[in-house]
Amino acid sequence: MTTATEPDPGIFLSPEYASNPYPTLKHLRDHHPVYFNPVMKQWMVTRYEDVMNIFADTENFSASPNGEHIGAVFGPTLMEYDGEKHHKLRALVAPEFVGVNLKALLPIVTRNAMSLIEKFTEKHAAQIAENASVRGEIDIVDDFATRLPLNVILDVLDLPQEAHEMFHQWYPAMMNGINGGPELRIAGQKANAEYHAYLDPLIDERSRNPGADLLSRLSIAEVNGARMTPEEIKSFASLILVAGAETTDKAIANLWYQLLANPDQWQLVQDDPELLDHAFTEMMRIHPPAAGQTRKTIRDYTLHGVTIPADSYVHLSIYGANRDERVFTDPDRFDLNREDLYFARDLRGGWFKDGMAGHLGFGLGPHFCAGYQLARAETVIGTKLLMEVIRNPRFKPGSNPTPIAIRIEPWHLHLEFDAA
Ligand code: HEM
Protein backbone atom coordinates (compact mmCIF):
# COMPACT_ATOMS: atom_id res chain seq x y z
CA MET A 1 0.00 0.00 0.00
CA THR A 2 1.40 3.37 -0.97
CA THR A 3 2.04 6.05 1.64
CA ALA A 4 1.21 9.13 -0.49
CA THR A 5 -0.60 11.80 1.48
CA GLU A 6 -4.28 11.37 2.09
CA PRO A 7 -6.40 14.27 0.84
CA ASP A 8 -7.27 16.99 3.34
CA PRO A 9 -10.83 15.94 4.33
CA GLY A 10 -11.91 19.59 3.99
CA ILE A 11 -11.62 19.16 0.22
CA PHE A 12 -14.82 17.07 0.18
CA LEU A 13 -16.82 20.04 1.47
CA SER A 14 -15.18 22.61 -0.78
CA PRO A 15 -16.77 24.34 -3.79
CA GLU A 16 -13.62 23.30 -5.67
CA TYR A 17 -14.45 19.60 -5.17
CA ALA A 18 -18.14 20.18 -5.92
CA SER A 19 -17.29 21.75 -9.27
CA ASN A 20 -14.39 19.46 -10.17
CA PRO A 21 -13.93 16.30 -8.08
CA TYR A 22 -11.77 14.62 -10.71
CA PRO A 23 -8.25 15.58 -9.53
CA THR A 24 -9.05 14.33 -6.01
CA LEU A 25 -10.57 11.14 -7.39
CA LYS A 26 -7.46 10.55 -9.50
CA HIS A 27 -5.29 10.96 -6.40
CA LEU A 28 -7.45 8.41 -4.57
CA ARG A 29 -7.32 5.97 -7.49
CA ASP A 30 -3.56 6.22 -7.69
CA HIS A 31 -2.69 6.20 -3.99
CA HIS A 32 -5.69 5.26 -1.85
CA PRO A 33 -7.96 3.02 -3.91
CA VAL A 34 -9.78 2.11 -0.69
CA TYR A 35 -10.08 5.30 1.32
CA PHE A 36 -12.07 6.10 4.45
CA ASN A 37 -13.64 9.51 3.93
CA PRO A 38 -14.07 11.02 7.39
CA VAL A 39 -16.45 13.68 6.11
CA MET A 40 -18.89 11.35 4.36
CA LYS A 41 -18.15 8.63 6.94
CA GLN A 42 -17.95 6.20 4.08
CA TRP A 43 -15.25 4.15 2.44
CA MET A 44 -14.61 5.33 -1.10
CA VAL A 45 -13.71 2.96 -3.93
CA THR A 46 -12.63 4.76 -7.08
CA ARG A 47 -11.02 2.29 -9.53
CA TYR A 48 -13.10 0.91 -12.41
CA GLU A 49 -12.39 -2.76 -11.73
CA ASP A 50 -13.18 -2.45 -8.00
CA VAL A 51 -16.39 -0.47 -8.51
CA MET A 52 -17.52 -2.97 -11.15
CA ASN A 53 -16.79 -5.96 -8.91
CA ILE A 54 -18.54 -4.51 -5.87
CA PHE A 55 -21.66 -3.53 -7.83
CA ALA A 56 -21.94 -7.18 -8.89
CA ASP A 57 -21.03 -8.69 -5.49
CA THR A 58 -24.21 -9.52 -3.61
CA GLU A 59 -22.43 -11.93 -1.24
CA ASN A 60 -20.50 -9.18 0.49
CA PHE A 61 -22.51 -6.00 -0.22
CA SER A 62 -26.09 -4.95 0.43
CA ALA A 63 -28.09 -2.17 -1.28
CA SER A 64 -29.83 -1.39 2.04
CA PRO A 65 -28.37 2.18 2.27
CA ASN A 66 -30.76 3.14 -0.55
CA GLY A 67 -33.51 2.76 2.06
CA GLU A 68 -31.92 5.29 4.39
CA HIS A 69 -32.20 8.24 2.01
CA ILE A 70 -34.48 7.23 -0.88
CA GLY A 71 -36.73 5.16 1.41
CA ALA A 72 -36.88 7.99 3.95
CA VAL A 73 -38.69 10.15 1.38
CA PHE A 74 -40.59 7.67 -0.84
CA GLY A 75 -41.20 4.76 1.54
CA PRO A 76 -39.62 1.36 0.84
CA THR A 77 -38.81 0.47 -2.80
CA LEU A 78 -36.96 -2.27 -4.63
CA MET A 79 -33.81 -0.18 -4.60
CA GLU A 80 -33.13 -1.01 -0.96
CA TYR A 81 -33.84 -4.74 -1.16
CA ASP A 82 -31.42 -7.56 -1.84
CA GLY A 83 -31.89 -11.10 -3.14
CA GLU A 84 -35.26 -12.69 -3.81
CA LYS A 85 -37.35 -9.78 -2.54
CA HIS A 86 -35.59 -7.40 -4.92
CA HIS A 87 -35.72 -9.87 -7.77
CA LYS A 88 -39.52 -10.31 -7.55
CA LEU A 89 -40.28 -6.58 -7.52
CA ARG A 90 -37.79 -5.87 -10.26
CA ALA A 91 -39.34 -8.54 -12.48
CA LEU A 92 -42.57 -6.53 -12.28
CA VAL A 93 -41.15 -3.28 -13.54
CA ALA A 94 -37.93 -3.82 -15.48
CA PRO A 95 -39.68 -5.18 -18.62
CA GLU A 96 -41.78 -2.00 -18.80
CA PHE A 97 -38.96 0.11 -20.20
CA VAL A 98 -37.08 -2.21 -22.55
CA GLY A 99 -37.53 -4.24 -25.74
CA VAL A 100 -41.02 -4.24 -27.28
CA ASN A 101 -42.40 -2.15 -24.42
CA LEU A 102 -39.79 0.50 -25.11
CA LYS A 103 -40.78 0.50 -28.79
CA ALA A 104 -44.31 1.38 -27.72
CA LEU A 105 -42.92 4.29 -25.68
CA LEU A 106 -40.90 5.83 -28.52
CA PRO A 107 -43.86 7.62 -30.16
CA ILE A 108 -44.67 9.05 -26.71
CA VAL A 109 -41.11 10.39 -26.44
CA THR A 110 -41.26 11.93 -29.94
CA ARG A 111 -44.70 13.43 -29.37
CA ASN A 112 -43.66 15.04 -26.09
CA ALA A 113 -40.40 16.35 -27.53
CA MET A 114 -42.24 17.84 -30.53
CA SER A 115 -44.83 19.46 -28.33
CA LEU A 116 -42.16 21.11 -26.15
CA ILE A 117 -40.26 22.27 -29.21
CA GLU A 118 -43.43 23.76 -30.66
CA LYS A 119 -44.09 25.67 -27.46
CA PHE A 120 -40.53 26.87 -27.34
CA THR A 121 -40.37 27.93 -30.99
CA GLU A 122 -43.65 29.83 -30.70
CA LYS A 123 -42.43 31.66 -27.60
CA HIS A 124 -39.12 32.53 -29.23
CA ALA A 125 -40.55 33.48 -32.61
CA ALA A 126 -42.73 35.99 -30.75
CA GLN A 127 -39.80 37.31 -28.70
CA ILE A 128 -37.54 37.58 -31.72
CA ALA A 129 -40.23 39.43 -33.70
CA GLU A 130 -40.96 41.73 -30.77
CA ASN A 131 -37.32 42.65 -30.17
CA ALA A 132 -36.34 42.52 -33.85
CA SER A 133 -33.54 40.30 -32.59
CA VAL A 134 -31.26 38.22 -34.79
CA ARG A 135 -30.52 35.91 -31.87
CA GLY A 136 -32.67 33.42 -30.05
CA GLU A 137 -32.11 32.13 -26.54
CA ILE A 138 -32.92 28.88 -24.80
CA ASP A 139 -32.34 27.58 -21.31
CA ILE A 140 -31.82 23.93 -22.13
CA VAL A 141 -32.68 23.09 -18.51
CA ASP A 142 -35.91 24.97 -18.00
CA ASP A 143 -37.23 25.01 -21.56
CA PHE A 144 -36.48 21.39 -22.34
CA ALA A 145 -34.44 19.04 -20.14
CA THR A 146 -36.58 19.22 -16.99
CA ARG A 147 -39.76 18.99 -19.06
CA LEU A 148 -39.34 16.11 -21.50
CA PRO A 149 -38.59 13.16 -19.14
CA LEU A 150 -41.29 14.34 -16.74
CA ASN A 151 -43.91 14.52 -19.48
CA VAL A 152 -42.97 11.06 -20.70
CA ILE A 153 -43.31 9.57 -17.20
CA LEU A 154 -46.66 11.33 -16.73
CA ASP A 155 -47.89 9.68 -19.93
CA VAL A 156 -46.50 6.30 -18.88
CA LEU A 157 -48.41 6.53 -15.57
CA ASP A 158 -51.34 8.21 -17.34
CA LEU A 159 -51.27 11.29 -15.10
CA PRO A 160 -52.64 14.52 -16.55
CA GLN A 161 -50.19 16.72 -18.46
CA GLU A 162 -52.26 19.73 -17.35
CA ALA A 163 -50.87 19.15 -13.86
CA HIS A 164 -47.30 19.34 -15.24
CA GLU A 165 -46.29 22.41 -13.17
CA MET A 166 -47.28 20.71 -9.93
CA PHE A 167 -45.19 17.61 -10.74
CA HIS A 168 -42.41 19.86 -11.98
CA GLN A 169 -42.16 21.29 -8.46
CA TRP A 170 -42.65 17.99 -6.64
CA TYR A 171 -39.95 15.93 -8.29
CA PRO A 172 -36.91 18.13 -7.52
CA ALA A 173 -38.24 18.69 -3.97
CA MET A 174 -38.41 14.92 -3.53
CA MET A 175 -34.88 14.49 -4.89
CA ASN A 176 -33.50 17.26 -2.68
CA GLY A 177 -35.16 15.51 0.26
CA ILE A 178 -33.10 12.43 -0.54
CA ASN A 179 -29.79 14.26 -0.82
CA GLY A 180 -30.20 17.31 1.41
CA GLY A 181 -30.17 18.21 5.12
CA PRO A 182 -33.07 17.98 7.61
CA GLU A 183 -35.09 20.91 6.23
CA LEU A 184 -34.91 19.66 2.67
CA ARG A 185 -35.74 16.16 3.92
CA ILE A 186 -38.96 17.49 5.46
CA ALA A 187 -39.83 19.47 2.30
CA GLY A 188 -39.17 16.32 0.22
CA GLN A 189 -41.41 14.22 2.46
CA LYS A 190 -44.13 16.87 2.17
CA ALA A 191 -43.94 16.85 -1.65
CA ASN A 192 -44.03 13.06 -1.58
CA ALA A 193 -47.08 13.06 0.72
CA GLU A 194 -48.89 15.48 -1.63
CA TYR A 195 -48.05 13.27 -4.60
CA HIS A 196 -49.28 10.18 -2.74
CA ALA A 197 -52.52 11.90 -1.72
CA TYR A 198 -53.00 12.80 -5.38
CA LEU A 199 -52.48 9.15 -6.36
CA ASP A 200 -54.80 7.61 -3.73
CA PRO A 201 -58.11 7.98 -5.60
CA LEU A 202 -56.44 7.09 -8.90
CA ILE A 203 -55.04 3.82 -7.53
CA ASP A 204 -58.40 3.00 -6.04
CA GLU A 205 -60.16 3.64 -9.34
CA ARG A 206 -57.58 1.85 -11.49
CA SER A 207 -57.47 -1.25 -9.32
CA ARG A 208 -61.21 -1.59 -10.07
CA ASN A 209 -61.11 -0.45 -13.72
CA PRO A 210 -57.56 -0.95 -14.94
CA GLY A 211 -56.36 0.71 -18.14
CA ALA A 212 -53.21 0.04 -20.14
CA ASP A 213 -51.04 2.49 -18.16
CA LEU A 214 -48.30 1.55 -15.68
CA LEU A 215 -50.21 2.79 -12.63
CA SER A 216 -53.10 0.47 -13.53
CA ARG A 217 -50.76 -2.43 -14.10
CA LEU A 218 -49.10 -1.86 -10.72
CA SER A 219 -52.53 -1.57 -9.09
CA ILE A 220 -53.43 -5.10 -10.16
CA ALA A 221 -49.96 -6.69 -10.22
CA GLU A 222 -49.23 -9.56 -7.88
CA VAL A 223 -45.99 -10.25 -6.02
CA ASN A 224 -45.75 -13.66 -4.33
CA GLY A 225 -49.40 -14.28 -5.15
CA ALA A 226 -50.54 -11.10 -3.35
CA ARG A 227 -51.33 -7.67 -4.72
CA MET A 228 -48.96 -4.85 -3.84
CA THR A 229 -50.36 -2.66 -1.07
CA PRO A 230 -51.34 0.92 -1.98
CA GLU A 231 -48.28 2.06 0.03
CA GLU A 232 -45.97 -0.13 -2.08
CA ILE A 233 -47.55 1.08 -5.31
CA LYS A 234 -47.17 4.72 -4.27
CA SER A 235 -43.52 4.39 -3.17
CA PHE A 236 -42.85 2.77 -6.47
CA ALA A 237 -44.66 5.54 -8.36
CA SER A 238 -42.43 8.03 -6.47
CA LEU A 239 -39.32 6.13 -7.49
CA ILE A 240 -40.36 6.06 -11.13
CA LEU A 241 -41.25 9.74 -11.17
CA VAL A 242 -38.00 10.85 -9.59
CA ALA A 243 -35.64 8.20 -11.03
CA GLY A 244 -37.10 8.85 -14.45
CA ALA A 245 -37.10 12.63 -14.42
CA GLU A 246 -34.35 13.76 -12.07
CA THR A 247 -31.60 11.84 -13.85
CA THR A 248 -32.55 12.10 -17.51
CA ASP A 249 -32.95 15.87 -17.25
CA LYS A 250 -29.28 16.08 -16.31
CA ALA A 251 -28.33 13.65 -19.05
CA ILE A 252 -29.95 15.89 -21.67
CA ALA A 253 -28.34 19.05 -20.32
CA ASN A 254 -24.94 17.35 -19.95
CA LEU A 255 -25.05 16.06 -23.49
CA TRP A 256 -25.60 19.61 -24.77
CA TYR A 257 -22.88 20.91 -22.46
CA GLN A 258 -20.29 18.35 -23.62
CA LEU A 259 -21.06 18.82 -27.30
CA LEU A 260 -20.91 22.60 -27.21
CA ALA A 261 -17.81 22.63 -25.00
CA ASN A 262 -16.09 20.45 -27.64
CA PRO A 263 -16.82 22.11 -31.00
CA ASP A 264 -15.00 19.43 -33.03
CA GLN A 265 -17.31 16.79 -31.51
CA TRP A 266 -20.35 19.02 -32.11
CA GLN A 267 -19.33 19.20 -35.76
CA LEU A 268 -19.26 15.39 -35.91
CA VAL A 269 -22.86 15.10 -34.73
CA GLN A 270 -23.93 17.96 -36.99
CA ASP A 271 -22.50 16.05 -39.94
CA ASP A 272 -23.99 12.75 -38.79
CA PRO A 273 -26.77 13.01 -36.16
CA GLU A 274 -26.71 9.21 -35.82
CA LEU A 275 -23.54 9.79 -33.78
CA LEU A 276 -25.71 11.22 -30.99
CA ASP A 277 -25.99 7.69 -29.73
CA HIS A 278 -22.20 7.57 -29.25
CA ALA A 279 -22.32 11.03 -27.74
CA PHE A 280 -24.83 9.83 -25.14
CA THR A 281 -22.57 6.91 -24.18
CA GLU A 282 -19.47 9.09 -23.92
CA MET A 283 -21.42 11.65 -21.83
CA MET A 284 -22.49 8.82 -19.51
CA ARG A 285 -18.81 8.02 -19.08
CA ILE A 286 -17.25 11.44 -18.73
CA HIS A 287 -19.82 13.09 -16.43
CA PRO A 288 -23.03 11.14 -15.85
CA PRO A 289 -25.91 12.42 -13.69
CA ALA A 290 -25.18 10.13 -10.70
CA ALA A 291 -21.74 10.48 -9.08
CA GLY A 292 -21.91 7.12 -7.34
CA GLN A 293 -23.98 4.70 -5.29
CA THR A 294 -23.71 3.46 -1.72
CA ARG A 295 -23.55 -0.10 -0.47
CA LYS A 296 -23.05 -1.66 2.96
CA THR A 297 -20.59 -4.45 3.75
CA ILE A 298 -22.34 -7.60 4.94
CA ARG A 299 -19.06 -8.95 6.37
CA ASP A 300 -15.43 -7.78 6.64
CA TYR A 301 -14.10 -7.19 3.15
CA THR A 302 -10.45 -6.83 2.20
CA LEU A 303 -9.35 -4.97 -0.94
CA HIS A 304 -5.85 -3.74 -1.84
CA GLY A 305 -4.69 -4.80 1.64
CA VAL A 306 -7.29 -2.68 3.46
CA THR A 307 -10.03 -4.36 5.48
CA ILE A 308 -13.39 -2.63 5.45
CA PRO A 309 -15.27 -3.82 8.55
CA ALA A 310 -18.72 -5.42 8.32
CA ASP A 311 -21.64 -2.94 8.39
CA SER A 312 -19.63 -0.12 6.81
CA TYR A 313 -20.91 2.23 4.13
CA VAL A 314 -19.02 2.06 0.86
CA HIS A 315 -19.33 4.76 -1.80
CA LEU A 316 -18.86 3.28 -5.27
CA SER A 317 -17.53 6.24 -7.21
CA ILE A 318 -18.96 6.13 -10.72
CA TYR A 319 -17.10 9.38 -11.42
CA GLY A 320 -13.84 7.81 -10.26
CA ALA A 321 -14.35 4.56 -12.18
CA ASN A 322 -15.41 6.16 -15.45
CA ARG A 323 -12.21 8.22 -15.60
CA ASP A 324 -9.86 5.42 -14.58
CA GLU A 325 -6.81 5.70 -16.83
CA ARG A 326 -6.20 1.98 -16.24
CA VAL A 327 -9.20 1.47 -18.55
CA PHE A 328 -9.76 4.65 -20.58
CA THR A 329 -6.94 6.44 -22.38
CA ASP A 330 -6.85 10.17 -21.76
CA PRO A 331 -10.04 9.84 -19.69
CA ASP A 332 -10.71 13.58 -19.31
CA ARG A 333 -11.17 13.92 -23.09
CA PHE A 334 -14.73 13.83 -24.51
CA ASP A 335 -14.27 11.76 -27.65
CA LEU A 336 -17.01 10.12 -29.70
CA ASN A 337 -14.50 7.93 -31.46
CA ARG A 338 -12.63 6.49 -28.52
CA GLU A 339 -11.61 2.90 -29.04
CA ASP A 340 -11.67 1.81 -25.42
CA LEU A 341 -15.35 2.54 -24.66
CA TYR A 342 -18.05 0.03 -25.45
CA PHE A 343 -20.56 2.10 -27.46
CA ALA A 344 -23.21 -0.52 -28.16
CA ARG A 345 -26.12 -1.43 -25.87
CA ASP A 346 -25.39 -0.53 -22.24
CA LEU A 347 -23.84 -3.44 -20.46
CA ARG A 348 -25.59 -4.68 -17.39
CA GLY A 349 -22.56 -6.85 -16.66
CA GLY A 350 -19.92 -4.23 -17.50
CA TRP A 351 -17.71 -6.89 -19.05
CA PHE A 352 -14.90 -5.95 -21.36
CA LYS A 353 -15.57 -6.79 -24.97
CA ASP A 354 -12.73 -6.80 -27.51
CA GLY A 355 -10.71 -4.67 -25.08
CA MET A 356 -13.54 -2.17 -24.60
CA ALA A 357 -15.21 -1.30 -21.32
CA GLY A 358 -18.76 -0.14 -20.62
CA HIS A 359 -19.43 3.12 -18.76
CA LEU A 360 -20.81 2.63 -15.25
CA GLY A 361 -23.23 5.57 -15.37
CA PHE A 362 -26.26 3.30 -14.95
CA GLY A 363 -24.63 1.25 -12.19
CA LEU A 364 -24.23 -2.47 -12.64
CA GLY A 365 -25.40 -5.87 -11.38
CA PRO A 366 -28.83 -6.56 -9.88
CA HIS A 367 -29.79 -2.90 -9.40
CA PHE A 368 -28.63 -1.80 -12.86
CA CYS A 369 -30.88 1.06 -13.96
CA ALA A 370 -34.27 -0.21 -15.07
CA GLY A 371 -34.84 2.84 -17.30
CA TYR A 372 -31.54 2.78 -19.19
CA GLN A 373 -33.05 2.36 -22.64
CA LEU A 374 -35.76 4.93 -22.07
CA ALA A 375 -33.23 7.47 -20.75
CA ARG A 376 -31.09 6.99 -23.85
CA ALA A 377 -34.10 7.24 -26.17
CA GLU A 378 -35.35 10.44 -24.53
CA THR A 379 -31.95 12.10 -24.62
CA VAL A 380 -31.06 11.12 -28.17
CA ILE A 381 -34.48 11.65 -29.76
CA GLY A 382 -35.07 14.92 -27.87
CA THR A 383 -31.64 16.30 -28.73
CA LYS A 384 -31.91 15.33 -32.38
CA LEU A 385 -35.27 17.09 -32.75
CA LEU A 386 -34.09 20.18 -30.91
CA MET A 387 -30.92 20.40 -33.02
CA GLU A 388 -33.12 20.70 -36.09
CA VAL A 389 -34.69 23.94 -34.89
CA ILE A 390 -31.87 25.88 -33.25
CA ARG A 391 -29.16 27.03 -35.64
CA ASN A 392 -25.57 27.48 -34.60
CA PRO A 393 -26.16 27.15 -30.83
CA ARG A 394 -23.44 28.36 -28.46
CA PHE A 395 -23.12 29.08 -24.74
CA LYS A 396 -24.62 32.43 -23.87
CA PRO A 397 -21.72 34.82 -23.18
CA GLY A 398 -21.19 35.39 -19.44
CA SER A 399 -23.41 32.44 -18.46
CA ASN A 400 -20.66 30.24 -16.95
CA PRO A 401 -21.84 26.90 -18.33
CA THR A 402 -20.99 23.75 -16.36
CA PRO A 403 -21.91 20.09 -16.56
CA ILE A 404 -24.41 19.02 -13.94
CA ALA A 405 -24.63 16.23 -11.41
CA ILE A 406 -27.54 15.55 -9.11
CA ARG A 407 -27.37 18.48 -6.72
CA ILE A 408 -29.52 20.87 -4.81
CA GLU A 409 -28.84 24.35 -6.18
CA PRO A 410 -30.92 25.66 -9.07
CA TRP A 411 -29.21 25.03 -12.39
CA HIS A 412 -29.40 26.37 -15.93
CA LEU A 413 -27.70 25.99 -19.28
CA HIS A 414 -28.29 29.16 -21.28
CA LEU A 415 -27.59 29.04 -25.01
CA GLU A 416 -28.05 31.52 -27.76
CA PHE A 417 -28.55 30.65 -31.40
CA ASP A 418 -29.10 32.33 -34.75
CA ALA A 419 -32.65 33.28 -35.52
CA ALA A 420 -33.69 31.61 -38.76
C1 HEM B 1 -29.64 9.11 -17.66
C2 HEM B 1 -30.63 8.83 -16.84
C3 HEM B 1 -30.50 7.86 -15.71
C4 HEM B 1 -29.43 7.60 -14.90
C5 HEM B 1 -28.06 8.26 -14.92
C6 HEM B 1 -29.84 6.56 -13.98
C7 HEM B 1 -28.99 6.00 -13.03
C8 HEM B 1 -29.32 4.91 -12.24
C9 HEM B 1 -28.40 4.21 -11.39
C10 HEM B 1 -26.92 4.53 -11.22
C11 HEM B 1 -29.09 3.18 -10.79
C12 HEM B 1 -28.51 2.13 -9.84
C13 HEM B 1 -28.84 2.37 -8.39
C14 HEM B 1 -28.07 1.44 -7.46
O15 HEM B 1 -27.22 0.66 -7.91
O16 HEM B 1 -28.30 1.50 -6.23
C17 HEM B 1 -30.47 3.28 -11.25
C18 HEM B 1 -31.50 2.46 -10.84
C19 HEM B 1 -32.80 2.61 -11.24
N20 HEM B 1 -33.28 3.43 -12.23
FE21 HEM B 1 -32.21 4.76 -13.29
N22 HEM B 1 -31.15 6.24 -14.21
C23 HEM B 1 -31.60 7.00 -15.26
C24 HEM B 1 -32.87 6.97 -15.84
C25 HEM B 1 -33.92 6.20 -15.39
C26 HEM B 1 -35.26 6.20 -15.94
C27 HEM B 1 -35.70 7.00 -17.17
C28 HEM B 1 -36.00 5.35 -15.17
C29 HEM B 1 -37.44 4.92 -15.26
C30 HEM B 1 -38.27 5.22 -16.14
C31 HEM B 1 -35.13 4.80 -14.15
C32 HEM B 1 -35.51 3.88 -13.20
C33 HEM B 1 -34.64 3.25 -12.34
C34 HEM B 1 -35.08 2.24 -11.36
C35 HEM B 1 -36.50 1.73 -11.16
C36 HEM B 1 -33.92 1.83 -10.67
C37 HEM B 1 -33.82 0.80 -9.55
C38 HEM B 1 -33.46 -0.57 -10.12
C39 HEM B 1 -33.27 -1.60 -9.04
O40 HEM B 1 -33.07 -1.27 -7.86
O41 HEM B 1 -33.30 -2.79 -9.40
N42 HEM B 1 -33.88 5.35 -14.32
N43 HEM B 1 -30.58 4.31 -12.16
Provide the CATH number for the domain around residue 74: 1.10.630.10
Residue 2 lies in a domain: no
Using a 6 Å cutoff on CB, does residue 97 contact ligand 1? yes
Q: What is the mean pLDDT of residues 388-394?
A: 92
Residue 119 lies in a domain: yes
| pLDDT number for residue 346 | 76
* CB-count burial class (<10 Å; 0-12, 13-18, 19+) for 378: buried
Using a 6 Å cutoff on CB, does residue 105 contact ligand 1? no
Atom of ligand 1 nearest to the CA of 239: 35
Using a 6 Å cutoff on CB, does residue 102 contact ligand 1? no
Task: Work out whether the CA dihedral 399, 402, 405, 409 comes out positive or negative.
Answer: negative
Residue 259 backbone phi and psi in degrees, to 5: -70, -40
Question: What is the extent of the structural domain holding 131?
Answer: 9-418
Assess whether pLDDT exceeds 70 at residue 121: yes
Closest CA relative to residue 403, chosen from 335, 341, 339, 334: 334
Of 348 and 47, which is predicted with more confidence? 47
Assess whether pLDDT exceeds 70 at residue 420: no
Longest dimension (CA), the chain: 68
Using a 6 Å cutoff on CB, does residue 375 contact ligand 1? yes
Give the Cβ contact number of residue 55 at 10 Å. 25
Residue 236 lies in a domain: yes
Q: What is the mean pLDDT of residues 283-292?
A: 95
Judge contact between 311 and 297, C-beta under 8 A. yes
Pocket test of ligand 1: the residue of 87, 105, 150, 247 to mutate, having most ligand atoms within 8 Å of its CB, is 247
Of 289 and 125, which is predicted with more confidence? 289
117 pLDDT tier (thresholds 50, 70, 90): very high
Residue 235 lies in a domain: yes
pLDDT in tens, 313-353: 999 999 999 999 999 999 999 999 999 999 887 777 677 77
Residue 4 lies in a domain: no
Using a 6 Å cutoff on CB, does residue 63 contact ligand 1? yes
User: DSSP characters for 141-168?
Assistant: IIIIITTHHHHHHHHHHT--GGGHHHHH
Residue 79 alpha carbon to ligand 1 centre in Å: 9
- CA–CA dist 277, 139 (Å, integer): 23
Using a 6 Å cutoff on CB, does residue 321 contact ligand 1? no
Using a 6 Å cutoff on CB, does residue 369 contact ligand 1? yes
| pLDDT number for residue 407 | 62
Using a 6 Å cutoff on CB, does residue 361 contact ligand 1? yes
Indicate the SS3 state at residue 159: coil
Question: Per mean pLDDT, which of 18-32, 94-108, 229-243 is the most reliable?
Answer: 18-32
Assess whether pLDDT exceeds 90 at residue 179: no
% of the chain residues with pLDDT over 90: 73
- CA–CA dist 44, 28 (Å, integer): 9
- CA–CA dist 301, 310 (Å, integer): 7
Sequence-distant (6+) residues with CB within 8 A of 388 are none
- CA–CA dist 391, 80 (Å, integer): 45
| pLDDT number for residue 406 | 60
Residue located nearest, by CA, to atom 34 of ligand 1: 370
Residue located nearest, by CA, to atom 7 of ligand 1: 362
Residue 149 lies in a domain: yes
Residue 266 lies in a domain: yes
Assess whether pLDDT exceeds 50 at residue 60: yes
Assess whether pLDDT exceeds 90 at residue 224: no
Q: What is the mean pLDDT of residues 58-80?
A: 94
Using a 6 Å cutoff on CB, does residue 25 contact ligand 1? no
How many domains, the chain? Answer: 1
Atom of ligand 1 nearest to the CA of 376: 1
| pLDDT number for residue 400 | 85
Residue 55 alpha carbon to ligand 1 centre in Å: 14
Judge contact between 414 and 400, C-beta under 8 A. no
Using a 6 Å cutoff on CB, does residue 239 contact ligand 1? yes
Assess whether pLDDT exceeds 50 at residue 2: no
Assess whether pLDDT exceeds 90 at residue 187: yes
Assess whether pLDDT exceeds 60 at residue 227: yes
| pLDDT number for residue 177 | 92
Please name the helix (run of DSSP H) or strand (run of DSSP E) that holds residue 230, with its range, or none.
helix 230-261
Using a 6 Å cutoff on CB, does residue 244 contact ligand 1? yes
Residue 350 alpha carbon to ligand 1 centre in Å: 15
- DSSP state, 8? P
Using a 6 Å cutoff on CB, does residue 251 contact ligand 1? yes
Residue 363 alpha carbon to ligand 1 centre in Å: 8
- CA–CA dist 218, 198 (Å, integer): 16
Q: What is the mean pLDDT of the chain?
A: 91
Atom of ligand 1 nearest to the CA of 55: 15
Cα end-to-end distance, the chain, whole Å: 60
Atom of ligand 1 nearest to the CA of 378: 27
pLDDT-wise least confident of 12-21, 260-269, 315-324, 374-383: 12-21
Residue 3 lies in a domain: no
User: Could you give the count of Cα atoms lying within 13 Å of 268 in the half-sphere of its Cβ?
Assistant: 16
Using a 6 Å cutoff on CB, does residue 146 contact ligand 1? no
| pLDDT number for residue 1 | 46
Using a 6 Å cutoff on CB, does residue 136 contact ligand 1? no
pLDDT in tens, 366-387: 999 999 999 999 999 999 999 9
Question: Using N-to-C axis directions, what is the helix angle for 372-389 and 148-157, rounded to 10°?
Answer: 130
Residue 129 alpha carbon to ligand 1 centre in Å: 42
Using a 6 Å cutoff on CB, does residue 403 contact ligand 1? no
